[in-house]
Amino acid sequence: MPIDFSFTEDQELIRKAVKEWCERNLTLEKVREMDTKGEIPREIWKGLAELGVLLPTVPKEHGGAGVDWVTHCIIGEEIGYADITIATAAAFIVVEGAWGFTLDKYCSEEVREKYVKPAIRGEKFVGIATTEAGGGSDVAAFKTTAKKSGNEWIINGEKMYISGTEECKKYGGGYWILARTSPAPPEAPHRGMTAFFLPFDTPGVEITKRFEDCGRMAISTGGFKMEDVRLPDEYRLGEEGKGFYYTMEGFDNARLIIAASAMGVTQRVLEIGIDYIKQRKAFGWPIGKFEGISFELADLWTEMEATKALVYKTAWMNDLKYKGKFSAREVSKYISMCKLKAPHLALKACEKVMIWHGAYGYTKECPVEMGWRGVMSYCIGAEGAANIQRVVLVRELLGPDYVAYKKLKE
C-alpha cells in the first residue's frame, strides 16, 4: 500500500494555525477594506511573520521555517481561502515566499543577511522583476543589460508590471532581476542572461509607473527604471550566464504556490455559493433545488478536488525534485498543468457563484466580485501566461520541435 494521501501531523497543525489566524485577522470584511483602500496593513504582514509563514521553505539554518513544498501549498491554500482577492497570497506567500526560497538558494551571504532574513521577519519586501514593457513571455525581447566593470556590474533597463513596487519602496527590500550579460545565438536567446538581486534603494533606481489594476488591489503593481545602477558582484545570483535557468526554477516554485492559493479561493467562493443557494428562494423553492444550479456546483466541486489532487501531487514531486528523485523538467510539466488549470477554475467558480447570486452578485455588497477581479490577474499572466504553460506542455508531450515558433525539421 505505497500510496498515501494524508498530511503529516505537522502539516495539519500548520493548516489549523493559519486557518485560525485568518479567521481572526483576515476576515472578508477586512479583505473588503484592504481592497478598497488598496493596501495590506502592516499588522497583517507582521502577523504573518509572527505566524512563521513568510518565506517558509527557506531552510532553518538560513533563518526560515524549513517546511516542505506541500506545507507551503497548505499555507497558500489557507491564505487564498481567507483573502479571495488573492492579494495577500500573491504578495507574501507567492512572490516573497516562493521566490524568496529561490533567492536564498542562489544569493550571497551578504544578500541573505541584509534582505532574505529581514523579509522572513516581515521587515523588508523581496520580489521578482523580469517583465519589461516590450514583453513578458518572450525572454529574448528583454532589453535590460548588465556590463562588468571591475568588481561591479552596471545595469541599465526598465522593468514593468512588477508586484509590490510601492511596498518595496516604502519598507525597503529589493528584486530578483534578469539582465543580458552576453550576446546569445538567435536559436537560444535565453543564453547569456544573468540574475541579480537589486536593492531598491540603489542610486539609479526610480519608480516610473504605478498601474491602476482592476483587481488584487491591496498590492501595488508598477514599473521602475535602472540607469547606470552599480551592483557589487556579491549581488549576482548564481553563475554568470545561468540566470534564465534559475529564473525558470523560481517561476516553477511560484506557479505551484499560486495554484494552491487559487484552490483556496475556489473552495471559499463555492462555500459562499452553497450558503446562498440553500437560503435564496425562487418559485417557492431554494434555488439549490434547481439542477441548473446544483449541477454546476457538483461539476465545479469535482473539478476543484481533481485540481487539488494535481496540486498536492505536484508539491510532493517538487519536494522530491529537491532530493534528486524527479528531474526539473518532469516537475515543470506538472507545475504548468497546475498553473494552467487552477487560476482559471477559480475564475470560473467566482463567475458562476456571482451569477447564482443574481443582481446581488454584481454589487460590492457581495464579496465574490473581489475574487473574480483578483484571480483574473493569474489568468492573464502573473507568473506566466496560460498559453506559456501550454507551450511547456506541448514541448514535453510532443517534443521541442513542435513548439509553434520553432521550424519543424523536414
Ligand X SMILES: Cc1cc2nc3c(=O)[nH]c(=O)nc-3n(C[C@H](O)[C@H](O)[C@H](O)COP(=O)(O)OP(=O)(O)OC[C@H]3O[C@@H](n4cnc5c(N)ncnc54)[C@H](O)[C@@H]3O)c2cc1C
For the bound state, the minimum distance from the C-beta of residue 390 to ligand X, rounded and expressed in Å, comes to 7
- Options 105, 114, 117, 216; binder of ligand X; rule CB under 6 A: 216
User: How many amino acids of this chain bind ligand X (CB under 6 A)?
Assistant: 28
Please identify, using beta-carbon distances, which residue of 122 and 384 lies nearer to ligand X: 384
Please identify, using beta-carbon distances, which residue of 68 and 213 lies nearer to ligand X: 213
- Treating both helix axes as pointing N-terminal to C-terminal, what angle do 328-356 and 243-279 enclose, rounded to 10 degrees? 30
- What's the one-letter identity of residue 282? A
For the bound state, the minimum distance from the C-beta of residue 40 to ligand X, rounded and expressed in Å, comes to 15
Helix H or strand E encompassing 208? strand 205-210
Please identify, using beta-carbon distances, which residue of 356 and 378 lies nearer to ligand X: 378
**Separation between Cα atoms, residue 265 and residue 383, nearest integer Å:** 17
- Options 137, 279, 327, 363; binder of ligand X; rule CB under 6 A: 137
- Options 59, 66, 135, 232; binder of ligand X; rule CB under 6 A: 135
Exposed / middle / buried, residue 11 (Cβ in 10 Å: 0-12, 13-18, 19+): middle
C-alpha cell at 407: 521550424
For the bound state, the minimum distance from the C-beta of residue 146 to ligand X, rounded and expressed in Å, comes to 16
C-alpha cell at 237: 545570483
Q: Which stretch binds ligand X (CB under 6 A): 111-119, 258-266, 359-367, 378-386?
A: 378-386
Does 385 contact ligand X by CB under 6 A? yes
DSSP of 86-141: -HHIIIIIIIIIIHHHHHHHHS-HHHIIIIIHHHHTTSSEEEEE--BTTBSS-GGG
Please identify, using beta-carbon distances, which residue of 300 and 388 lies nearer to ligand X: 388
Pairing of strands 125-129, 173-180: parallel
Please identify, using beta-carbon distances, which residue of 105 and 373 lies nearer to ligand X: 373
Please identify, using beta-carbon distances, which residue of 287 and 391 lies nearer to ligand X: 391
For the bound state, the minimum distance from the C-beta of residue 364 to ligand X, rounded and expressed in Å, comes to 20
Does 17 contact ligand X by CB under 6 A? no
Q: Among residues 253, 260, 266, which one has the least CA distance to residue 96? A: 253
DSSP of 288-351: GGSHHHHHHHHHHHHHHHHHHHHHHHHHHHHHHHTTTSS-HHHHHHHHHHHHHHHHHHHHHHHH
Helix H or strand E encompassing 170? helix 165-171
For the bound state, the minimum distance from the C-beta of residue 349 to ligand X, rounded and expressed in Å, comes to 19
Please identify, using beta-carbon distances, which residue of 71 and 336 lies nearer to ligand X: 336
Helix H or strand E encompassing 148? strand 145-149
User: Which residues 286-345 are close enough to bind ligand X by CB under 6 A?
Assistant: none
Please identify, using beta-carbon distances, which residue of 176 and 312 lies nearer to ligand X: 176
- Options 207, 380, 393, 394; binder of ligand X; rule CB under 6 A: 380
- Options 182, 241, 381, 396; binder of ligand X; rule CB under 6 A: 381
- Options 221, 247, 307, 314; binder of ligand X; rule CB under 6 A: 221
Does 371 contact ligand X by CB under 6 A? no
C-alpha cell at 31: 479583505
Q: Which pairs from 275-284 meet CB under 8 Å and 24+ separation?
A: 276/353, 276/356, 276/357, 277/356, 280/357, 280/358
Does 272 contact ligand X by CB under 6 A? no
**Separation between Cα atoms, residue 98 and residue 127, nearest integer Å:** 10
- Options 208, 279, 302, 387; binder of ligand X; rule CB under 6 A: 387
Does 163 contact ligand X by CB under 6 A? yes
Which residue number has the CB closest to ligand X? 136
Q: What is the DSSP letter of 242?
A: B
Instruction: Give the interface with ligand X as residue ranges (CB under 6 A).
Output: 95, 127-131, 135-138, 161-163, 213, 216, 221, 377, 380-382, 384-388, 391, 404-405
